[in-house]
């Protein structure tokens, strides 16, 4: 009768968990934004993973995408200074021996994208894939937390556990909250999260189900192998598979039980090893190196992956501050969050993505309750304590290995936190359950403590809501910039206006709207937007450059020169501002000064044909024809089809006049706010 009563009690509580899970997944699905590839091509089948699937179905390992022919003509196709003209549609893919590959993990293609198209005849979008993987990982994590509660904390209120599940959802939701869109990177990250949580759930089963330990460990090993196939950075977390084996070894007292440990070890190691061998074969067939995933052959715009040092202890402290410790800066305008970046950058480090500050201090202060986790086994019987400790050790080790790997990497993104943040939040919630149990006999202190951690949870909710608003605004900002870069200016206006409706105090948003107005030759409106950007941020160099060029087009040359000079005061290495200042000086006859500015621009970007054309014109006007010819020839060598540079080889004094550079905001993740 007691068992039946307890079963009915658990069933009555299920709607509470269902409601919380539906709320978290629904919010995630609503806030998720489609990725950049949607704007490059409206066809879903042209997303990275669908191109990979199309390649597989055609019997090849490379993508169903031809490599730009110009890459083969470059001495170093991975040099971002020279490959920009060719990598627009293959950016962030890998190029090797004339073929295009995907360096993102292969697992999502094998377990979702390929089966989906095989079953439905249609291709799955990246956004939908991210939502599916997120929902799977979150539901499994919530199921593990519910199992922990039922087994070890049945006296704790169901509403406390529901709050813990909600906190898990917030931690996992960082993928979209701190990111702008769902693209190939987010697909890989969310897939790794889903299979890591499946491995964690299987390890829970192995620790608590001795009769089926071998089966549970086989499942855990397979799941973690697939997680590595999606996110190679999860590799060192594989050590968690050995903890159930170690627990069985420590508990073994008879020779027969020791032999059983050998079977457990084989179950823990076998599937993940076979998966690893499969990945090594896949890499060897693509890149002639079993340990090369394609990272060194990326077509990047930020760094040269073929010469970069991807992992180093030198990056450890900087990355630790980025992920965990750097305090957030507040802004005076809605949504009040300000991106921060620790400084200075370590040598060899290639930059970081958007961050509002460290996770512990800012995003999820609830994580401090990890320190209360030892209360979870206080006053329990010996065997019960032992198993719970082993599971907590598994979760903690998963967090440590994944976080340490990312802290050694040369690039940071807040969304990478999905590799370790759910495990850390799970430990924090176990700490909350431990507090609730430890304070059960002192209602007043339990109530005070509950109010305290509820306040920390509310802080995390508030942060996520504000960050979601900014993420949606920046997604529109990105879309508008991309549309402007493709000449679809009329469509861009709508997105810039949506971004400004959500975040009217963004200097970058006003500057981009000014760019759109300029593209339509609505100069007065462009000037107004650039001026608004500078009212918000007087030290915004790009807005000074763009305002200067718009003023120049209105004939207000002296004002334009002042803004170009101000841009260079803020950023002396601003090549386009040097060029534009030279261009303006040349038009009013200050040729010597113009030559100096063109030379400064070329010192910063020696591969720019446009800059060499400007210097050519200035030298020719000064009468230095021989030097002008040299610049003319170098410009044509860089870009043979550059129409502005073509002229008779004698270079008469009447030369084509180059245009100035009105710099748009690149369609990137940074708003330069």
CB 664 within 8 A of CB 550: no
* CATH superfamily of this structure's domain 536-673: Tetratricopeptide repeat domain (1.25.40.10)
Please give the residue that has the higher pLDDT: either 371 or 3: 371
pLDDT for res 284: 97
* Residue 16 in this model has a pLDDT that exceeds 80: yes
* Residue 620 in this model has a pLDDT that exceeds 90: no
Cα 490 to chain centroid distance, Å, stands at: 29
pLDDT for res 654: 29
Q: How far is CA 100 from CA 105, 117, 247, 293, 352, in A?
A: 15, 22, 46, 13, 26
Angle between helices 557-570 and 575-587 (to 10 degrees): 160
Burial code (b: 16+ CB inside 10 Å, e: under 16) for 131-155 equals bbbbbbbbbbbbbbbbebbeebbee
Where are the chain's structural domains? 2-459, 536-673
pLDDT for res 180: 57
pTM above 0.85, yes or no: no
Distance CA 126, CA 489 (A): 26
Question: 181: which 2 tokens?
Answer: 């869109």
Q: How far is CA 536 from CA 478, 508, 539, 543, 564, in A?
A: 20, 9, 9, 11, 18
Q: How many Cα atoms occupy the beta-carbon half-sphere of 368 within 13 Å?
A: 15
Which of these, 278, 285, 231, lies nearest to 96 by C-alpha position? Answer: 285
pLDDT for res 323: 85
Q: What is the per-residue DSSP string for 620-647? A: HHHT-HHHHHHHHHHHHHH-TT-GGG--
What is the Rg, in whole angstroms, of the alpha carbon atoms belonging to the chain? 29
636-668 residue pLDDT tens: 777 666 545 444 333 333 233 344 455 555 433
Which of these, 195, 192, 182, lies nearest to 130 by C-alpha position? Answer: 182
Average of per-residue pLDDT values in the chain: 85
At 209, phi and psi to the nearest 5?
-130, 75
Q: Cβ neighbours of residue 115 under 8 Å, at least 6 residues apart?
A: none
In the chain, DSSP finds a helix count (H) and a strand count (E) of 25, 4
Question: 261: which 2 tokens?
Answer: 């440990």
* Residue 118 in this model has a pLDDT that exceeds 90: yes
List the Cα angle 554/555/561 in 5-degree steps. Answer: 105
Which H or E element spans position 212?
none
What is the percent of the chain with per-residue pLDDT over 70, rounded to a whole number?
88
CB 441 within 8 A of CB 346: no
Q: What is the per-residue DSSP string for 476-542? A: HHHHHHHHHHTT-HHHHHHHHHHHHHH-TT-HHHHHHHHHHHHHTT-HHHHHHHHHHHHHH-TT-HH
Q: Cβ neighbours of residue 248 under 8 Å, at least 6 residues apart?
A: 213, 257, 260, 261, 264
Question: 97: which 2 tokens?
Answer: 């021996």
Where does the pLDDT of residue 131 fall: very low under 50, low under 70, confident under 90, or very high at 90 and above? very high
Which H or E element spans position 169?
helix 158-172
Distance CA 188, CA 145 (A): 24
* Residue 313 in this model has a pLDDT that exceeds 60: yes
* Residue 25 in this model has a pLDDT that exceeds 50: yes
Q: How many Cα atoms occupy the beta-carbon half-sphere of 177 within 13 Å?
A: 25
* Residue 505 in this model has a pLDDT that exceeds 80: yes
pLDDT for res 53: 97
378-426 residue pLDDT tens: 878 777 788 999 999 999 999 999 999 999 998 888 788 889 999 999 9
110-119, 154-163, 258-267, 290-299: segment of lowest average pLDDT: 258-267
What is the percent of the chain with per-residue pLDDT over 90, rounded to a whole number?
46
* Residue 553 in this model has a pLDDT that exceeds 50: yes
């Amino acid at each position: 009768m007691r068992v039946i009563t307890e079963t009915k009690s658990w069933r009555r509580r299920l709607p509470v968990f269902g409601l919380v899970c539906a709320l978290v997944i629904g919010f995630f699905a609503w806030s998720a934004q489609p990725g950049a590839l949607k704007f490059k091509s409206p066809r879903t089948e042209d997303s990275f993973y669908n191109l990979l699937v199309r390649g597989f179905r055609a019997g090849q390992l490379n993508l169903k995408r031809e490599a730009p022919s110009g890459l083969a003509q470059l001495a170093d196709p991975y040099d971002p200074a020279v490959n920009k003209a060719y990598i627009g549609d293959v950016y962030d893919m890998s190029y090797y021996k004339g073929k295009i590959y995907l360096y993102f993990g292969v697992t999502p293609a094998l377990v979702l994208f390929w089966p989906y198209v095989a079953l439905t005849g249609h291709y799955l979008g990246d956004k939908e894939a991210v939502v599916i993987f997120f929902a799977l990982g979150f539901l499994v994590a919530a199921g593990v937390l519910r199992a922990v509660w039922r087994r070890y904390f049945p006296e704790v209120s169901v509403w406390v556990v529901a709050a813990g599940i909600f906190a898990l959802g917030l931690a996992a939701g960082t993928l979209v909250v701190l990111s702008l869109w769902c693209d190939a990177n987010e697909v890989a990250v969310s897939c790794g999260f889903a299979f890591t949580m499946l491995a964690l759930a299987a390890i829970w089963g192995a620790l608590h189900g001795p009769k089926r330990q071998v089966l549970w460990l086989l499942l855990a090993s397979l799941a973690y192998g697939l997680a590595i196939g999606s996110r190679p950075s999860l590799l060192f977390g594989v050590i968690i598979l050995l903890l159930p084996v170690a627990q069985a070894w420590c508990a073994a007292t008879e020779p027969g039980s020791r032999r059983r440990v050998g079977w457990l070890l084989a179950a823990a190691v076998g599937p993940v090893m076979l998966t690893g061998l499969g990945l090594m074969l896949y890499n060897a067939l693509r890149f002639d190196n079993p340990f090369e995933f394609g990272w060194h052959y990326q077509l990047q715009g930020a760094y040269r992956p073929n010469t970069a040092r991807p992992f180093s202890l030198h990056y450890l402290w900087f990355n630790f501050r980025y992920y965990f410790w750097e305090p957030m800066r507040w802004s005076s305008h809605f949504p009040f969050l300000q991106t921060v970046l620790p400084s200075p950058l370590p040598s060899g480090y290639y930059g970081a993505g958007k961050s509002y500050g460290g996770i512990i201090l800012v995003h999820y202060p609830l994580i401090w309750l990890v320190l209360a986790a030892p209360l979870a086994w206080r006053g329990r019987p010996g065997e019960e304590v032992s198993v719970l400790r082993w599971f907590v050790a598994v979760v903690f080790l998963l967090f440590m290995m994944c976080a340490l790997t990312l802290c050694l990497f040369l690039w940071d993104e807040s969304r990478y936190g999905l590799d370790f943040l759910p495990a850390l939040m799970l430990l924090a919630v176990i700490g909350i359950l431990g507090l609730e149990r430890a304070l059960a006999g002192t209602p007043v202190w339990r109530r005070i403590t509950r109010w305290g951690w509820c306040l920390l949870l509310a802080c995390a909710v508030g942060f996520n809501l504000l960050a979601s608003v900014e993420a949606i605004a920046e997604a529109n900002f990105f879309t508008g910039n991309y549309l402007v870069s493709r000449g679809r200016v009329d469509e861009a206006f709508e997105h810039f206006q949506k971004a400004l409706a959500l975040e009217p105090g963004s200097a970058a948003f006003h500057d981009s709207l000014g760019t759109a107005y300029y593209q339509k030759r609505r100069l007065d409106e462009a000037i107004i937007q650039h001026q608004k950007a500078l009212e918000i941020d007087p030290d915004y160099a790009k807005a000074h450059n763009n305002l200067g060029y718009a003023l120049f087009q209105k004939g207000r040359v002296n004002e334009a020169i002042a803004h170009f000079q101000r841009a260079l005061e803020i950023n002396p290495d601003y090549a386009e501002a040097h060029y534009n200042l030279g261009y303006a000086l040349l038009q009013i006859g200050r040729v010597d000064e113009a030559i100096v500015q063109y030379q400064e621009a070329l010192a910063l970007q020696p591969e720019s044909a446009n800059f060499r054309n400007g210097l050519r014109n200035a030298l020719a006007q000064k009468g230095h024809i021989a030097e002008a010819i040299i610049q003319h020839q170098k410009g044509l060598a860089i870009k043979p089809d550059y129409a502005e540079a073509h002229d008779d080889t004698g270079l008469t004094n009447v030369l084509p006049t180059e245009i100035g550079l009105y710099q748009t905001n690149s369609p990137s993740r940074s708003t330069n706010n």
